[in-house]
């Protein structure tokens, strides 16, 4: 069974970056919980560095990750510094599975409407990975920065639980693709939404994956329902 470690940046006495009344630590946790839920539903074992607002130092994250011995590791963060867009960092030397994981996650994040600053590497003065989470973990690892908390337009993409969950599910799809696990359809409980999906697919021929992307947008179910009504 595949194993994935999710590092949940900051927490407790360390709120991380802040903006618009939001703390990075809370956004990171919202994304991680949704990511873990989707991975678990696909039979992947998941270990999160924290599941609540508590101190979670990087050294402890790295220790937990290596002790868990996962196939892949993703450290979840929110950016700051006045920019816009998602970015993901991977291993500087060789790329390998870490680069593939970064590219797969980036593609899924772009599919839910977030712009991307790209898949990147960063080396220190010794030519090794600058970031400890990538440098010191023993498995392929990436660091994901979902958006800039101090830029209003970017912050608006992650300022609710639903929006954070959309990022978490996007990360999970990228992880599953890297693991070679087929992504299953989202569970839809509302009969009206299910009927709307069937109408759209019948009339447009849209693939199931495209429907999932629509559902992952904020108010996605309402959007799908309105589209179906317009097609009747």
What's the Cα-to-Cα distance from 209 to each of 89, 111, 183, rounded to whole Å?
26, 10, 9
**Given phi > 0 = left and psi -120 to 50 = alpha, else beta, which region is 130?**
alpha
Q: What is the DSSP letter of 184?
A: P
What is the length of the chain?
232
Give dist(CA 59, CA 72) in Å, integer. 18
- Tell me if residue 145 is catalytic: yes
- Give how far the C-alpha of residue 22 lies from the chain's centroid of Cα atoms, to the nearest Å: 18
Active-site choice (24, 106, 108, 145):
145
* Phi/psi of residue 149, nearest 5 degrees: -70, -25
- The residues annotated as belonging to the active site are 145
């Amino acid at each position: 069974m595949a194993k994935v470690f999710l590092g949940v940046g900051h927490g407790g006495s360390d709120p991380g970056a802040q903006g618009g009344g939001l703390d990075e630590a809370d956004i990171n946790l919202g994304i991680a919980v949704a990511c873990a839920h989707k991975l678990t539903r696909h039979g992947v074992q998941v270990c999160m560095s924290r599941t609540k607002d508590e101190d979670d130092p990087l050294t402890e994250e790295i220790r937990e990750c290596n002790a868990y011995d996962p196939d892949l590791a993703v450290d979840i963060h929110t950016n700051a510094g006045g920019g816009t867009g998602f970015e993901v960092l991977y291993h500087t030397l060789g790329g390998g599975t870490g680069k593939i994981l970064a590219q797969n996650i980036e593609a899924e994040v772009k599919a839910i409407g977030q712009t991307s600053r790209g898949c990147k590497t960063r080396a220190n003065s010794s030519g090794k990975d600058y970031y400890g989470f990538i440098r010191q973990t023993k498995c392929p690892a990436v660091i994901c920065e979902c958006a800039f908390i101090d830029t209003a337009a970017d912050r608006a993409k992650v300022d609710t639980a639903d929006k954070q969950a959309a990022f978490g599910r996007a990360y999970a799809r990228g992880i599953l693709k890297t693991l070679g696990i087929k992504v299953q359809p989202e569970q839809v409980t509302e009969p009206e939404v299910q009927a709307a999906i069937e109408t759209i697919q019948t009339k447009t021929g849209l693939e199931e994956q495209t429907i999932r992307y629509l559902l992952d947008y904020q108010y996605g179910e309402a959007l799908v329902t309105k589209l179906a009504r317009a097609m009747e």
